[in-house]
Every structure is written in C-alpha cells, then in structure tokens.
Amino acid sequence: MARVTVNGVELFYETTGLGDRVVLTHGSWGDATNWDAVVGPLAERFEVVIWDRRGHSRSQDGDGPGSWREDAADLAALIEHLGDPPVHVFGNSAGGCIVLTLVTERPDLVASAAVHEPPLFGLLAETEDERIAEALAASGRETESVVELIEAGDHRAAARHFIEDVALGPGAWDQLPERVTTILETNAPTFLDESPEPFEMTSIDRAALAATTVPLMISYGTESPELLPAAAKELARLVPVARLEVIAGAGHVPHMTHPEAWVTTLMDFYTGVPPVEATR
C-alpha cells in the first residue's frame, strides 16, 4: 500500500507483480478492492497498479465538485509519479470514461487503453431507435432518483437503486457481498460529481478520440442493461482503431463476476499491442 499527493489530494494506490505496468481504474461508487479477483492473474505478467479515485474509500476528497477530467488528471499524475511511461490503462464503467479522457489529453502516457462499458450515453442522444430512446429517458429518470436519495442522506437506498435500476439489473444488490455494498454506500456522495456527465459528455473530446492512434479495446457484456452495450458499440464506431469485444454471460463488472473471462479477453488484446519498449 502507498499514498501520493497529486493535484491537491492524497491518493491511495497499490502495486503488485513485475513487468510492463497496467493501471486499473474503478468505476462509480467502488474502489480499488473491486479488482481483487484479477490482480493475481494479471500480476503473473504485469506490474499491476490499483488505486482509489479521489473521494473514494482511502483517497482524499477534493475541495469542490469533481469530474472525469479531474480524475483523468489524477491518473496522469499517478502515472508520472510511478515513472517510466507509457503504461497500459484499463477502466471499467466511469473508470473507462476517465481512461478515454486520458487518451485524448495525455496520449504520451498511454501504451494501450482498454475500457468496459463506459456509460457514454451522450453518444446515443441522436438515436432513431425508439427502444434505445425510451431506455435513455428511463435511465435519466432513475439517475435523478438516485441523486435525490443521496442528497436526502439515504446512501444505502441510493446505492441499491443505482445497482438495480441503472448498472446491473433487478436482484443484483442481494447477490453482492456485504463488504461490497458497504463500499458502495460509503462512496455514494461521489456520484453527485459525475451523474450529469454520461448525458452531457463534458469531459471527452470526440474529435480527438476519433483520431487517436492509441491501441484501444472496448468491451461489453451480453447480460448488461441494453444502454451499456449500445453505447459501447457506438463508441467503437466513433474510434476507427478500436477493437470491440464481447464477454459472454457477463454484465457491467466482469472483473468481479467473470474474472477468468475478463482476464482472457484483456490478455488476448495485449498480444496484439506493440511492446511498451517500442513506444518509449
């Protein structure tokens, strides 16, 4: 375990293994422990870095409302602190949005990027698919309800509502270990910083992302709520260099529910990525 102060906040991070470095960025509500099931297998080949985003669990809060761009700046500073970039980066859900922001703003730090279901619903805003349009409207309403619960101080109800009605689907909350639901409840206020962003896409430069030459993998699960795969497919259409992968049987957090399949998918991607030394 280690700590570093970057951009005015103290961040928790941890490194395991030896080899080319891969930095894993968690999504909304969670923390670095989300990666527990996959750190060991990845560390057989890589130096694996996990971290708590600002305001989450063991990392310090910022002075004001946060954003994906702020998190991307923290990720950049962490990579620079560790030294010897570029590195491989992976982000799940909102962590994927942070990784994509890093790709557009600091591509010099990135050897390759992989993301699973970043909730970039703004990419679907002009859809002509009535079912997707209805799902977008419903997701917006559910997100507003989650925010209202957080603002009212009912963080556990907010976390449950988010898991069941936005991210994972009905019944998912009761399948989560108490350790995980406690983390989600504790980190609930951090969602206030990012809840508008999926619809506004305020932190990601679409033109820069479309023009990137950074090797990129986008994945989605067959069991995820339909907006998430739809956004992943639209993102793949936006970025010509992107490789689109499907993790069968998995949902929004495959590194937690289907760790072997997730590791296999990521490792397959890395076999086609140029060696890090070649990019230095």
Contact 76, 89 (CB under 8 A): no
pLDDT at 68: 87
| pTM for the structure as a whole | 0.95
Sign of the Cα pseudo-torsion (164, 168, 172, 177, in order)? negative
pLDDT digits (tens, 9 = 90+) for 248-258: 999 999 999 99
237 is a domain residue: yes
195 is a domain residue: no
pLDDT at 39: 98
Report the domain count for the chain.
1
* Residue 84 Ramachandran class (φ > 0 left, ψ -120 to 50 alpha, else beta): left
> Strands 87-92, 47-51: parallel, antiparallel or unpaired by DSSP?
unpaired
40 is a domain residue: yes
208 is a domain residue: yes
pLDDT at 21: 97
89 is a domain residue: yes
Beta bridge partners of 96: none
Distances 263 to 35, 116, 258 between C-alpha atoms, Å: 11, 12, 9
196 is a domain residue: no
Regions of the chain short of the pLDDT cut 50: none
**Residue span of the structural domain in which 214 resides:** 2-127+203-279
pLDDT digits (tens, 9 = 90+) for 251-277: 999 999 999 999 999 999 999 998 887
pLDDT at 201: 62
Residue 110 to residue 76: CA distance in whole angstroms:
9
Supply the Cα-derived Rg of the chain in whole angstroms.
Answer: 17
Distances 77 to 70, 245, 259 between C-alpha atoms, Å: 11, 29, 28
140 is a domain residue: no
Distances 7 to 78, 107, 137, 203 between C-alpha atoms, Å: 10, 19, 36, 17
**CATH code, domain with 53:** 3.40.50.1820
pLDDT at 279: 66
